[in-house]
Chain A
Amino acid sequence: MPTEIKMPQLGESVTEGTLGRWLKQPGERVEKYEALLEVTTDKVDTEVPAPVSGIVREIAVPEGATVRVGTLLAVLDDDGAQSAEHRAQSDQAQKENGKGQGSNAQTLERSNAFVSPVVARLAAEHSLDLSKISGSGQDGRVTKQDVLKYVESHKNEPSRMPAGARSSDEGASIHAARSSIQSAESAPSARPVSPSARLVEQELPDDAEILPLSPMRRSIAEHMVRSRRIAPHVTTVFEVDVSQMVAHRERRKVDFERQGVKLTYTPYFVQAAVAGLQAVPVVNASYAESGIVVHQRIHVGVAVALEEGLVVPVIRDADEKNLLGLARAVNDLSGRARAHRLKPDETQGGTFTITNHGVGGSLFATPIINQPQAAIIGIGAIQKRAVVISQAGVDAIAIRPMCYLSLTIDHRLLDGAIADRFLTAIKEFLEGYAE
């Protein structure tokens, strides 16, 4: 019986993957759970294991090609394949495949998802997931212009419909894949040239250097634009005296080092965020049409800056970890993020995000919310400042390590007063930091 290998969904928000390397070639045998191919996404690289033992019959997508989740990659002949059964299966697969390609219906989840003929055709030609394109037409419909703008902004991506996927083998479902490849190749001559495409090209100076957009860069761009579009951002800033926290770290860092854990300030801020989220649970939430989804579990994302972009690994159930556990988690995740060894789902499912922009010296910022979360907190640089303190009713000027905390909220579900209550809880937690 043939088994289809499709591009897996490597995490909730991952919609496409690039085929890194085929570890087995057609005709080769692969055991169940044995690695069959490598896939890279905008966030991580991973190996895809064979779901069954069998012989690789057909490879449909060559190395280096970027394809949508669910795209047929290869067909395995299971042990004990029978030809009649195999044909019936292939026919069935072809039907299903054809149906999906024709309508794009499976990618449309919005309520006003009317797809005009031209949009359907362009989506098929460019292998687009229409649910990723924001619609500017009537009732939010995706218009042709929306698609052309999207294609224009993604045009430097590697081809998603590579030519190398040709084969003379039977494989009915691969026939379907191949025909779509051919139509994509023959299409450009018939396709109208987007006016904006010409415009951008004309505006480029002769000596312009074009840096190709990496999948990560593209993904960041898309997420940032989407977040700013759907959520009204409001940022509020508190100043916190972190003397207690700094003192605590000084006391404990040697101790932690002995346990093999480098103690930074980040786990303290994760703890503080947890305290704030517990005090004001509505911040640990998402906005949805059905209502405000208040999350019961606290998963805190910590942004990690890399040379090529930004990733946000998530510390799951951060409220269940002590400082040591958080420090270990932060070090582990940020280390693996820098080494590109994060697992796909380790960047998914966060309910709140911390961005430590202060490491570069920044005092305060207006961070963009990591959708679909309700808020993001930015940690400014810790600086010693002369501040007025009151002790026993007497005002005095003291030198204190101070830090600005910038909280950006989604004003659809949170208001300034809630934001301030949340920041007050964090401030109190940090200023009164104790074991």
Chain B
Amino acid sequence: MPEITLLEAIRQGIDEMMAADGRIFVFGEDVGRRGGVFRVTEGLIDKYGSLRVLDAPLAESVIVGACIGAAMNDMLPIAEIQFADFIYPAFNQIISEAARIHYRSNGDWSVPMVIRAPYGGGIHGALYHSQSIEAFFCHMPGIKVVAPSTPYDAKGLLKTSIEDPNPVLFLEHKKCYRLIKGEVPDEDYRIPIGKADIKRAGRDITVITYGLMLHFCLEAAEELATEGVEVEVLDLRTLRPLDSEAILSSVRKTSKVLIVHEDNLTGGLGGEIAAMIGQQAFEYLDGPITRICAPDVPAMPYSKPLEDAFMPSPALIADAMRRLAAY
């Protein structure tokens, strides 16, 4: 199997889906001629033309709003938000319209749309190009939130997201785009939404994470393994709906939980996961449910030392694992 980057896997996914289904189109800032600021859509305009790979004005509300309308009229739009940080002008469209139309119309209408959004930091992107926005959308019933961390998962989940009859927010970690490589089969395959994946099995601690943090957690788990602690790393892959079955089954096995995300602590997804575990696996817990998250600071800063301090590091994660193992 060829080894490709996360970015290439997403591009392949879009390409193969567009080739198979003429209803699919891409709409976003610089996605056409420029091929996207990260080059995810590079080459697609040449292949599918400017009616299916559309450059949008700098107006996220329009990007999402137009896609909602298209989706309600038998198209399968892929909206691209250039940086997840820019998604807020579209917040109203996503929350008030996309997420609710199926419910509001009693199932008569639906919005089969994917909103792709590069998120996350560690790339020296400063306040407007580094943020994690998932918590705002995970709060909202009616929209699915997907955040793959490997090329294989990204391609499989993107295809499933495009086929999903309801809106999916598809989060792509910027730092993973070219950093993370992996084998992706040539054959057509799907990864179901709502299924987490055990990326590393272990008996002592369950680490629940996603995005770039998955890779940091795997790194920390390797370190802990040399110290005799076997860490199980669960990659959520889908943030909403949460795969509570996988989470609870791992927690029941290890009885100790560490939740790691790059999004800041308060109101982050970790709190929801912790509460769910606390309620449904209380009798299996053998230690405090612990969270390692970004601090409650308004945004990831530009300065390198401050950015490093903001992002949970493998060393910080390893320390938390150690404390929990010893508890």
Decide whether A and B assemble into one complex: yes
- Render B242-263 as a binary contact track against A, CB cut-off 8 A, 1 for contact: 0000000000110100000000
- Interface residues of A, count at CB 8 A: 13
In the complex, are the beta carbons of B283 and A121 less than 8 A apart?
A: yes
Contact A118 B284 (CB under 8 A): yes
Residue of A nearest to B252 (CB): A192
Q: Is the CB of A137 within 8 A of B283?
A: no
Q: Which of B203, B282, B283, B326 contacts A138 (CB 8 A)?
A: B326
Closest to A195 in B: B203
Check B203–A118 contact: CB distance below 8 A.
no
Q: Does A173 contact B (CB under 8 A)?
A: no
Most chain A beta carbons < 10 A, residue from B252, B283, B285, B327: B283
Which residues of A (115-139) have their CB < 8 Å from a CB of B? 116-121, 137-138
Given A137-B327, A138-B327, CB of A117 within 8 Å of CB of B252: no
Is B308 among interface residues, defined by CB-CB distance under 8 A?
A: no
Asked if B287 is an interface residue, CB under 8 A from chain A, the answer is yes
B interface residue count range (under 10 / 10 to 19 / 20 to 34 / 35 or more): 10 to 19
In the assembled complex, the Cα of A46 lies from the Cα of B182 at a distance in Å of 70
In the complex, chain B residues 233-292 whose Cβ is within 8 Å of any chain A Cβ: 252-253, 255, 282-287
B62 to chain A, nearest CB (A): 51
Bound CA–CA A136/B284 (angstroms): 18
Q: Is A43 an interface residue (CB 8 A)?
A: no
A118 is contacted by which of B285, B326, B327 (Cβ under 8 Å)? B285
Cβ A120 vs Cβ B283 within 8 A: yes
A117 touches B284 (CB 8 A): yes
- Asked if A57 CB lies within 8 Å of chain B CBs, one says no
| Chain A residue contacts of B287, Cβ below 8 A | 116
Q: How far apart are the CA atoms of A143 and B284 in the complex, in Å? A: 11
- For the complex, is A144 an interface residue (Cβ under 8 Å from B)? yes
A336 CB, nearest partner CB in chain B, Å: 45
A117 to B285, CA, bound (A): 6
Contacts of B326 in A (CB 8 A): 137-138
Find out whether the CB atom of B286 lies under 8 angstroms from the CB atom of A143.
Answer: yes
Task: Kindly list chain B residues whose C-beta atoms are within 8 Å of the C-beta of A138.
Answer: 326-327
Separation of A118 and B277 alpha carbons in the complex (Å): 13
Whether the Cβ atoms of A116 and B253 lie closer than 8 Å is: no
Contact pattern, B 279-307, Cβ under 8 Å of A = 1, otherwise 0: 00011111100000000000000000000
Interface residues of B in 15-53 (CB under 8 A from A): none
- A144 to B285, alpha carbons, bound, how many Å? 9
- Chain A, residues 137-151, CB within 8 Å of chain B (1/0): the string is 110010110000000
- B327–A117 CB distance below 8 A: no
Among B174-193, those with CB < 8 Å from A are: none
Residues of chain B within 8 A of A116, CB atoms compared = 255, 285-287
For B203, B285, B286, B287, the residue with the greatest tally of chain A CB atoms inside 10 Å of its CB is: B286
Residues of A contacting B282 with CB < 8 Å?
117
CB distance from A75 to the nearest CB of B (A): 30
Chain B residues, CB < 8 A from A120: 283
Query: Which residues of B are found within 8 Å of A121, using beta-carbon distances?
Result: 283-284
- Of all chain B residues, which has the CB nearest A194? B203
Cross-interface CB contact of B253 among A137, A141, A192, cutoff 8 Å: A192
How far apart are the CA atoms of A121 and B285 in the complex, in Å?
A: 10
Please state if A117 and B253 are interface contacts (CB–CB under 8 Å): no
Chain A residue with minimal CB distance to B288? A116
Cα distance, A120 to B284, chains bound together (Å): 9
Within 8 A of B (CB), among A389-414: none
A124 nearest in chain B by CB position: B283
Contacts of B253 in A (CB 8 A): 192
B156 to chain A, nearest CB (A): 30
**Cα of A240 to Cα of B300 in the assembled complex, Å:** 79
- Chain A residues near B286: list those with CB within 8 A: 116-119, 143-144
Chain A residues near B327 (CB-CB < 8 A)? 137-138, 141, 143
Query: Which residues of B from 145 to 160 have beta carbons under 8 Å from A?
Result: none
A384 to B287, alpha carbons, bound, how many Å? 62
5 inter-chain pairs at a CB distance below 8 angstroms, sorted by A residue, are A117-B284, A118-B284, A118-B285, A141-B327, A192-B253
Other contacts beyond A121-B284, A137-B326, A143-B327: 20, CB < 8 A? A116-B255, A116-B285, A116-B286, A116-B287, A117-B283, A117-B284, A117-B286, A118-B284, A118-B285, A118-B286, A120-B283, A121-B283, A138-B326, A141-B327, A144-B255, A144-B286, A192-B252, A192-B253, A192-B284, A195-B203
9 tightest CB-CB pairs across the interface, nearest first?
A: A144-B286, A121-B283, A118-B286, A116-B286, A144-B255, A117-B285, A118-B255, A118-B284, A138-B327
